[in-house]
């Protein structure tokens, strides 16, 4: 069996499979001024300096109480300040151009850098302050710059997004002061852009290393000649225990030593993921939902299957099909799987397993390894999932992956301190017992099962896949 090497490339931009369109935000995006009325174009916000200067005529107006002759200089002072403020407001105009640049594909939970640029397209010098409406947690804003006519400046800040999917950026807001500093102007620039946040590839590679250890635990007797006899790989020296029918007599005569033909695993087999997007998959464990754990496991297992020459497809569903990817082989299929599911999330609907079975039957005729990812808690969902796996057994090889609810497991091991805790713990034990009975029923029907908490699902699934290939169950 070949070594398990896992590569999770960032997929190239382009038109993905059936339902996901290409995202904006690649390269550098220029901004356009948000349309505003004439009043907003000439308006400004008073600064602290204008407020401080307004105190002077206000204080001087107290002299009118003492002497009526002081009214003339007070009014004159008011008019001077008013004319000065209006003149400064009229001269506060400016022309600014902005742009934003960032890498359009990022990993969830990983900080990345965004560059915002500002250019003074006007004639007078501007001292600008600019900020960006970024998705996620942004650090390093706002930016400041003193720009002469035609000058430009850039500010770099970091963004961290803790959720997969496509996340659009908002407007870039730029402020500058009037020549005398009495007013502050503000403009909003619509800069198109969105970042596509994929699962954390570094974490998936860590799971891949665990899967490599799982490969080492496959029985040696099964691993010596795991493939079908029509999958020739290479010639090698004869080893005691090799079947005599595999000896290549022409190569033996030429080299004057026994040479045997080595066969690899059967390739070109179908692997199809059935991904439950229903409400039970929204349960969280360690910051990720059960759906996130299932999706990570599917992406990694799909990558491994493609390296073994298999075709990989996916059907994500709740009460209706959400994503359908027909099984395909080749390196590009790994990127296709990632692009089609990076912004897919569980809904609050109940999954329709019967619909998923009918849809799969209509679109897949060839016998396949069908991996059902689900999180079963109540008896109703357990029965429906069991019926689906039983129905699949007539044509395909089903593998049921049931992700445990971490909260239920925690309740089972928590010490009960009062009657209420004992009641909750008893309810959790009852759910666990029902789930265990349903899994036992699946095993009795001959179905393959992977059962574990979210952190254990990926390595356990990889080990089971390698075992299926080694034992030629498909």
Backbone φ and ψ of 19, nearest 5°: -120, 0
Domains of the chain are 28-43+93-198 (2.60.40.10), 270-471 (3.40.50.410)
Residues sharing a CB contact under 8 Å with residue 216, sequence separation 6 or more, in sequence order: none
Task: Tell me the C-alpha distance between 466 and 305, whole Å.
Answer: 9
- Checking if the pLDDT of 423 tops 80, the result is no
Write the DSSP assignment of 80-109 as a string of letters. HHHHHHHHHHHTT---EEEEEE--SEEETT
Q: How many residues does the chain have?
A: 474
Q: How far is CA 342 from CA 24, 198, 368, 429, 444, in A?
A: 15, 5, 24, 35, 36
Backbone φ and ψ of 206, nearest 5°: -60, -40
* Token pair 């039970």: residue: 280
DSSP single-letter state for residue 279? G
- Checking if the pLDDT of 324 tops 90, the result is yes
pLDDT per position as a tens digit, 136-179:
889 998 988 898 888 998 999 999 998 888 999 999 999 988 88
Confidence of residue 82 (pLDDT cuts 50, 70, 90): confident
pLDDT per position as a tens digit, 22-59:
333 445 666 665 655 545 555 678 888 888 888 877 78
pLDDT per position as a tens digit, 282-291:
887 767 788 8
Please give the pLDDT value at position 323.
94
**pTM of this structure:** 0.67
Confidence of residue 19 (pLDDT cuts 50, 70, 90): very low
Give the sign of the dihedral formed by CA 71, CA 74, CA 75, CA 76: positive
**What is the average per-residue pLDDT within 212-233?**
47
Please give the pLDDT value at position 235.
85
- Dihedral, CA atoms, 118, 123, 128, 131, nearest 10 degrees? -30
- Dihedral, CA atoms, 384, 385, 391, 395, nearest 10 degrees? 160
In percent, how much of the chain has pLDDT > 90? 18
Write the DSSP assignment of 137-152 as a string of letters. EEES--EEEEE-TT-E
pLDDT per position as a tens digit, 379-392:
777 778 788 888 88
């Amino acid at each position: 069996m070949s070594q398990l090497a896992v590569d999770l490339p960032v997929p190239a931009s382009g038109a993905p499979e059936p339902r996901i369109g290409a995202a904006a935000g690649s390269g550098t995006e220029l901004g356009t001024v948000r349309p505003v009325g004439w009043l907003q174009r000439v308006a400004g916000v008073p600064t602290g300096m204008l407020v401080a200067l307004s105190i002077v005529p206000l204080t001087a107006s107290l002299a009118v109480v003492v002497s009526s002759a002081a009214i003339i200089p007070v009014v004159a002072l008011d008019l001077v300040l008013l004319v000065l403020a209006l003149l400064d407001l009229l001269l506060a105009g400016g022309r600014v151009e902005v742009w934003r640049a960032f890498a359009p594909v990022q990993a969830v939970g990983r900080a990345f850098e965004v560059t915002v640029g500002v250019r003074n397209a006007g004639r007078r010098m501007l001292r600008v302050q600019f900020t960006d409406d970024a998705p996620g947690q942004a650090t390093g804003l706002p930016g400041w710059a003193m720009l002469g006519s035609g000058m430009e400046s850039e500010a770099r800040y970091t963004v961290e997004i803790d959720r997969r999917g496509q996340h659009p950026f908002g407007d870039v807001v730029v402020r500058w002061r009037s020549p005398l500093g009495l007013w502050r102007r503000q403009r909003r620039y619509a800069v198109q852009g969105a970042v596509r946040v994929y699962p954390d590839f570094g974490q998936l590679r860590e799971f891949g290393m665990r899967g490599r250890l799982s490969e080492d635990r496959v029985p040696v007797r099964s691993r010596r000649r795991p493939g079908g006899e029509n999958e020739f790989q290479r010639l090698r020296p004869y080893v005691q225990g090799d079947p005599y029918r595999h000896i290549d007599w022409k190569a033996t005569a030429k080299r004057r030593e026994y040479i045997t033909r080595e066969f690899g695993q059967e390739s070109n087999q179908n692997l199809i993921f059935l991904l439950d997007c229903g409400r039970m998959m929204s349960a969280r464990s360690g910051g990720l939902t059960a759906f996130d754990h299932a999706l990570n496991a599917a992406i990694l297992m799909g990558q491994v299957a493609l390296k073994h020459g298999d075709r990989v497809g996916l059907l994500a569903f709740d009460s209706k099909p959400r994503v359908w990817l027909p099984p395909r082989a080749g390196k590009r299929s790994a990127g296709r799987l990632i692009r089609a599911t990076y912004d897919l999330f569980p809904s609050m609907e109940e999954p329709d397993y019967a619909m998923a079975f009918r849809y799969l039957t209509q679109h897949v005729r060839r016998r396949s390894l069908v991996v059902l990812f689900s999180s079963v808690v109540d008896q109703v969902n357990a029965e429906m999932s069991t019926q689906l796996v039983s129905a699949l057994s007539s044509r395909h090889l089903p593998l049921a992956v049931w992700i445990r609810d971490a909260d239920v497991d925690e309740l089972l091991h928590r010490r009960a301190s009062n009657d209420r805790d004992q009641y909750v713990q008893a309810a959790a034990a009852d759910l666990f017992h029902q789930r265990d009975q349903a899994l036992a029923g699946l095993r009795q029907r001959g179905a393959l099962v992977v059962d574990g908490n979210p952190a254990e699902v990926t390595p356990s699934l990889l080990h089971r896949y390698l075992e299926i290939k080694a034992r030629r169950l498909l």
